[in-house]
Amino acid sequence: METKILPVTDESVALAKEILLGGGLVAFPTETVYGLGADGTNGDAVKKIYEAKGRPTDNPLIAHVHPDFDIGKLVYVENDYALRLKEAFMPGPLTMVFYSRGVVCKEAVCGGDTLAVRIPRHAGAQKLLRAAKIPVVAPSANVSKHVSPVTAQHVFDDLAGKIPLILDGGKSDGGIESTVLDVTEKVPRILRAGLITREMIAAVAGDCEIASHLPGDKIRSPGVKYRHYMPRCKTARFCAEDTARAAALYDRAAEEGKKPVILCESGAKVRFAGREIIDLGGSGEEIASNLFAALREGERRADLIIAIEPAGRGGVYDGVMNRLCKAAEKYEEGGFSH
């Protein structure tokens, strides 16, 4: 199958709509990462997403709708705080999990009774959703376990030949996926950290819990139990204070003829002078925005990525650390461990 990359225009969106309504797949930009969309009411179309990505079939999908779409048609909105959160953060990088009305097919929710709903802010995504008028279910448009895509080229690198169309809306500037929030209980609970932080949610909803995902916990977001975001080369993670050991690993690898590269926040660069560096940026938002593109650039340029954790904690750093810890194994003396 030929895979076209087209800028988002009236013509390309009309083509994308035709493909979606015909049961096919279309990759499209959002402000977090690129999504791989299918008609959420068509079980056969949704199965193609799992095949194209190699995604485990017990990991449900997010339904994406236009701001004008009445989400009450898809889910039961039972808690007032969820309405306030919708008012505050949608459209935007927040996904809320409600009890489903069953309009979105069982293949997309893996037979579960809940549905995750998101209203993207990206103009390209909205143009597609406005035209399609259906819930478009979409995971990130990468091969399962690989780094999420933030450009049309990243999607092409993973899925060329497997899907007919990628709508190109430029680089996704949010850079990490939406916050996934369970709103079925009296207190909202973060299932996956993201750009809408616990602090932001608590300020609107009054309170906000974070799912622990400990052994024995009832896992409400199956995605969290899988490995994710893995570059195609060895990737070592060091904490912010551990720069001497990180530099030593770099130097040893370089001596052995390997091509290492350091990924670190701007403030840590001075500690790696004279070495290849990919700069993640200064603030938590910048680091989130650059992280996936940096990991993909790292795997392209090097055969060993040495990722230095940013020093900041809380807020958007929760989402950054969650991605980084899955992408990169912690490097202990003598080898890798998690």
Residues in touch with ligand TXA (CB under 6 A): 30, 32-33, 35, 59-62, 95, 97, 109, 112, 114-116, 118, 138-140, 177-178, 180, 191-192, 220-224
- By CB under 5 A, the count of residues binding Mg ion is 1
CA distance 242 to 255: 20
Among 95, 140, 172, 322, binds Mg ion (CB under 5 A): 140
- β-strands 26-28, 75-76 pairing: unpaired
Tell me which residue has its CB nearest to ligand TXA.
Answer: 223
Which residue matches tokens 């990243």? 154
The DSSP annotation for 4-36 comes to EEEES-HHHHHHHHHHHHTT--EEE--SSS-EE
What number of other Cβ atoms are within 10 A of residue 241's Cβ?
10
Q: How far apart are CA 262 and CA 241, in angstroms?
A: 15
Q: How far is the CB of 9 from ligand TXA (least distance, A)?
A: 21
- We find the least distance from the C-beta atom of residue 4 to ligand TXA, in angstroms, to be 19
Closest CA to 236 of 246, 225, 227: 246
HSE at residue 71, side-chain half, CA atoms within 13 A, is: 28
Nearer to ligand TXA, 49 or 247 (CB): 49
- The one of Mg ion, ligand TXA, none whose footprint includes residue 60, by CB under 5 to 8 A per kind, is ligand TXA
- What is the smallest separation between the CB atom of 59 and Mg ion, expressed in angstroms? 9
Nearer to ligand TXA, 151 or 221 (CB): 221
Q: Which is nearer to ligand TXA, 138 or 205 (CB)?
A: 138
Q: Identify which of residues 186 and 337 has a Cβ nearer to ligand TXA in the complex.
A: 186
Binding interface with Mg ion (CB under 5 A):
140
